[in-house]
Chain A
Amino acid sequence: MKKVLIANRGEIARRIIKTCKRLNIETVAIYSEADKDLPYVKEADYAFEIGPSQVQQSYLKVDDIIALAKREKVDAIHPGYGFLSENADFARKAEAEGIVFIGPSPDTMEKMGDKIESRITMINANVPVVPGTEAGLASVEDAITAASSIGYPIMLKASAGGGGIGMIRCDDEETLLKHFESIKTRAKSYFGSDVVFLEKFIDSSRHIEVQIFGDTHGNIVHLFERNCSVQRRNQKVLEEAPSPNFPQEAREKLWEAAVNAAKAVNYINAGTVEFIVDHNHQFYFLEMNTRLQVEHPITEAITGFDLVEWQLRVAAGEELPVRDQASIKSNGHAIEFRIYAEDPKTFFPSPGTITVQNWETDEDVRIDAGYAEGDKVTPFYDPMISKVIIHAENRKLAIESAQKVFSSAKIEGVKTNIPLFQQFLDDESFISGEYSTSVLGEWMDKQREEVSK
């Protein structure tokens, strides 16, 4: 593998370029009009404008990107996360041109991209799934019947959805009635399919996922778990590895279930098996993400592996760099913070120009930044401007180190969620490690009450 096109932008494009440079692989970047001045465009060996700023006219233009990859004679395409990373059609078209798609097979992507089909696959592989419906719901009447047999509260979800988009919690029949059509409409517009299904809502649960990796020689390993329960609007805000408040016995069972899930689909390359874990540490399969995750750096921190390098090697047909599960060790504790350009209280986006961006860091701190000082954060893409990854001997030291980084950080021109992290990291609900996915929302409510007192 000598030349790779990166079908993505911002911090992840930059992160992939970094590994390619180290491995002497040439990189081809693509960019929209709005992104022409971003660091990744300058750091790639070659860079081409692919279209206007809207994603539909740039980063999602399957045929244009394939044509460019062909013209530039690249060996492979790295899709990053989001955009075309889980698009089987894109992967098939690349492969039809003799270009390797860095990811699992298109068939696996399709199977796991359909949430109903992935549930059925996991049931057959004896991986526990959240109680719910095993087929799409034809009508709101069907939904009401199914919901009363599952029991409220339930989650109404788009089968083609994922990553927290296209789902809503319904506590009773009235809310289900109210949201049924709107979720279908939204699913159709976001994902092109209006198939919806129901899952039981598991109260005070955690979102814990397992990194898995497979190669074309039949090897599959896991690289431990990540706890991603600190969320706002069903979107992750910080992730940690290992998961706090998770007994060793439960962890081992979870890893085993994830490896079984991967084996059930003969998984190749990097993947993540997401689980819902209740307060008794009982877990249920939620979904499988067939790509590199935003939060992969915390796994890199605790294992010492470069996951993008693993992806490139597997895509080139090599065996996994480490195949013996017992020799893969987890070291210390890592936390990733997603720095969003948004109001820390309302979570409303805050586009603008980053006039000052200054981090004071030491060697245990990794900053994956998508923007440089003077760059414009535009409204066309998600609000994440960078990721702060802390690695320390233990969780307590990692939290202390994070506080140090945030207290010296200076970002001006856009609002960020750094003030939120500074306060939240001081709160017992986070420090104790015994938190569920509702932790951030509950903490925000408490803050508001205190202000109004």
Chain B
Amino acid sequence: MKNLESTMAGTVFTVNVAIGEEVAAGQVVMVLESMKMEIPIEAETAGKIATINANEGDFVNEGDVLVTFE
């Protein structure tokens, strides 16, 4: 199982995937908002989403797990 971690602290602006969804490498999984800027978080490799660990509006720190892959 792989994890996708947040590259920076911020608030979750949108969650762009659903549990069970097959995503491609480079696909935008979430968009964070940090310092008034929207930052897309992309999947590093292709895979199926196992869990989504942050919801819209949540504050996340750098290194927090955003989603896990099966």
Chain A interfacial positions (CB closer than 8 Å to B): 54, 233, 341-342, 347-349, 351, 378-383
Separation of A382 and B8 alpha carbons in the complex (Å): 14
Separation of A127 and B34 alpha carbons in the complex (Å): 38
B11 contacts A54, C-beta separation under 8 Å: yes
Q: Which of A54, A233, A351 contacts B34 (CB 8 A)?
A: A351
Contact partners of B39 in chain A: CB under 8 A: 348-349
Separation of A379 and B36 alpha carbons in the complex (Å): 8
Contact partners of B37 in chain A: CB under 8 A: 233, 347-349, 383
**Which 9 pairs from chain A and chain B are nearest by CB?**
A349-B35, A383-B35, A379-B34, A379-B9, A382-B36, A379-B10, A349-B34, A379-B35, A349-B37
B36 contacts A383, C-beta separation under 8 Å: yes
The closest CB in chain B to the CB of A347 belongs to: B37
What's the dominant secondary structure at chain B's contact region? strand
Answer whether A351 and B59 are a contact pair too, CB < 8 Å, given A382-B35, A383-B36, A383-B37.
Answer: no
The closest CB in chain A to the CB of B7 belongs to: A348
A351 contacts B36, C-beta separation under 8 Å: no
Least CB distance from A82 to B in Å reads 9
Contact partners of B59 in chain A: CB under 8 A: 54
The closest CB in chain B to the CB of A82 belongs to: B36
Answer whether A349 and B11 are a contact pair too, CB < 8 Å, given A382-B36, A383-B37.
Answer: no
Question: Interface residue tally of chain B, by bracket?
Answer: 10 to 19
Which residues 38-62 of B have a CB within 8 angstroms of A?
A: 39, 59
Separation of A342 and B39 alpha carbons in the complex (Å): 12
Separation of A381 and B8 alpha carbons in the complex (Å): 14
Most buried by A among B35, B36, B39, B59: B35
Separation of A341 and B9 alpha carbons in the complex (Å): 14
Separation of A351 and B35 alpha carbons in the complex (Å): 8
Task: Provide 21 A-B residue pairs closer than 8 Å at the C-beta atoms, listed in order of the A residue.
Answer: A54-B11, A54-B59, A233-B37, A341-B35, A342-B35, A347-B37, A348-B37, A349-B8, A349-B35, A351-B34, A351-B35, A378-B9, A379-B8, A379-B9, A379-B34, A379-B35, A380-B35, A381-B36, A382-B36, A383-B36, A383-B37
Mask of B7-18 contacts with A, CB within 8 angstroms, 1/0: 011110000000
The closest CB in chain A to the CB of B10 belongs to: A379
Contact partners of A349 in chain B: CB under 8 A: 8, 34-35, 37, 39
Separation of A382 and B10 alpha carbons in the complex (Å): 12
Least CB distance from B35 to A in Å reads 4
Separation of A342 and B37 alpha carbons in the complex (Å): 11
Least CB distance from A116 to B in Å reads 24
Contact partners of A54 in chain B: CB under 8 A: 11, 59
Separation of A347 and B39 alpha carbons in the complex (Å): 10
The closest CB in chain A to the CB of B11 belongs to: A54
The closest CB in chain A to the CB of B32 belongs to: A379
Contact partners of B11 in chain A: CB under 8 A: 54
Contact partners of B10 in chain A: CB under 8 A: 379
Contact partners of A341 in chain B: CB under 8 A: 35
Most buried by A among B11, B37, B59: B37
Contact partners of A383 in chain B: CB under 8 A: 35-37
The closest CB in chain A to the CB of B61 belongs to: A379
The closest CB in chain B to the CB of A233 belongs to: B37
Contact partners of A378 in chain B: CB under 8 A: 9
Contact partners of A342 in chain B: CB under 8 A: 35
Most buried by B among A341, A347, A349: A349
Least CB distance from A249 to B in Å reads 38
Taking A347-B37, A381-B36 as known contacts, 13 extra A-B pairs with beta carbons closer than 8 A to each other, sorted by chain A number, are A54-B59, A233-B37, A341-B35, A348-B8, A349-B8, A351-B8, A379-B8, A379-B9, A380-B35, A381-B35, A382-B35, A382-B36, A383-B36
Most buried by B among A341, A351, A379, A381: A379
Separation of A54 and B34 alpha carbons in the complex (Å): 11
The closest CB in chain B to the CB of A349 belongs to: B35
Least CB distance from A203 to B in Å reads 26
Separation of A102 and B61 alpha carbons in the complex (Å): 37
Least CB distance from A440 to B in Å reads 16
Separation of A362 and B8 alpha carbons in the complex (Å): 37
Separation of A381 and B11 alpha carbons in the complex (Å): 11
Separation of A349 and B33 alpha carbons in the complex (Å): 10
The closest CB in chain B to the CB of A377 belongs to: B35
Most buried by B among A347, A351, A378: A351
